[in-house]
Amino acid sequence: MDNFFKAKKKISHFDLKNYKQIAQGKDGRIYSLTSDKCVKFFFREDTCKKEYEALKLGQKTEVIPRVYESGDNYIVMEFVKGVSLAHHMKKNGYIDKELTRKILFVLNELKRVGFKRLDTEIRHLLLNKQGQFKVIDHKRAFSTKTSVPIKLIKGLKKYGLEDQFLSHVQRMQPLLYNNWKDKL
């Protein structure tokens, strides 16, 4: 495995000048390194540390991107090729049982690996070409405790798909649905 920033604890924008920026959020910027690797450059080291700890724990599951290298303000990880659940919902306008099953699998995996936050925003659920979800942006995996996917359901509601999703959950996992319904 090649190390992009060999033994650097910190990187700067100068280190990234030859790479294409592919995204930017409030916590940092993401640059493409290769066809299957990217680097997330963080504005704050404490945010990088929180996300790295979650990603490291998440290496036990296929729903979290692979991590290859890290420093004080960056993480080199798997570049997930796919579309967000938000984009998928906007384009297709429905959520079927199979997609619901995959979302429930993701939420169960977050719980299984030890995350306290069992929720994600629909823009952070990426559906790859193989039809599998990968979840990104985990800085709150341990600092926010949620057992009901309120942000996920709120995102589905934006597209008018909350009831469709919850109806599938009710049929597929009635105990889980009963646990959620009073907290929504």
Mean pLDDT of 130-143: 91
Domain co-membership, 73 together with 133: no
* Residue 1 scores a pLDDT above 50: no
Of 116, 136, 115, 109, the closest CA to residue 124 belongs to 136
Whether residue 88 is found in the same domain as residue 172: yes
- Residue scoring higher pLDDT (147 or 55): 55
- Which of 61, 78, 95 terminates a domain? The answer is 78
Do 73 and 89 fall within a single domain? no
Mean pLDDT of 24-43: 95
Residue 175 burial by Cβ neighbours in a 10 Å radius (0-12, 13-18, 19+): exposed
Bridge partner list, 20 = 32
Residue 4 in domain: no
Q: What per-residue confidence (pLDDT) applies to 13?
A: 87
Same domain, 86 and 73: no
CA dist list (Å): 4 to 37, 100, 180: 10, 37, 44
* First CA to last CA distance, the chain: 45
What DSSP line would sit under the chain, residue for residue?
---TTTT-S---GGGGTTSEEEEE-SSEEEEE-SSSEEEEEESSHHHHHHHHHHHHHGGGSTTS--EEEE-SSEEEEE---EEEHHHHHHHH----HHHHHHHHHHHHHHHHHT-SB----GGGEEEETTS-EEE---TTTTTS-BSS-HHHHHHHHHTT-HHHHHHHHHHH-HHHHHHHHTT-
* Domain range for 29: 13-78
Higher pLDDT, 116 or 2: 116
Q: What is the pLDDT of residue 2?
A: 63
Mean pLDDT of 20-27: 93
24 confidence band (pLDDT: 50, 70, 90): very high
Q: Report the DSSP beta bridge partners of residue 133.
A: 127
- The average pLDDT across 24-49 equals 95
Q: Check pLDDT > 90 for residue 155.
A: yes
Q: Decide if pLDDT at 169 tops 50.
A: yes
Q: How many domains does the chain have?
A: 2
| pLDDT tens digits, 44-97 | 999 999 999 999 999 999 999 999 999 999 999 999 999 999 999 999 999 999
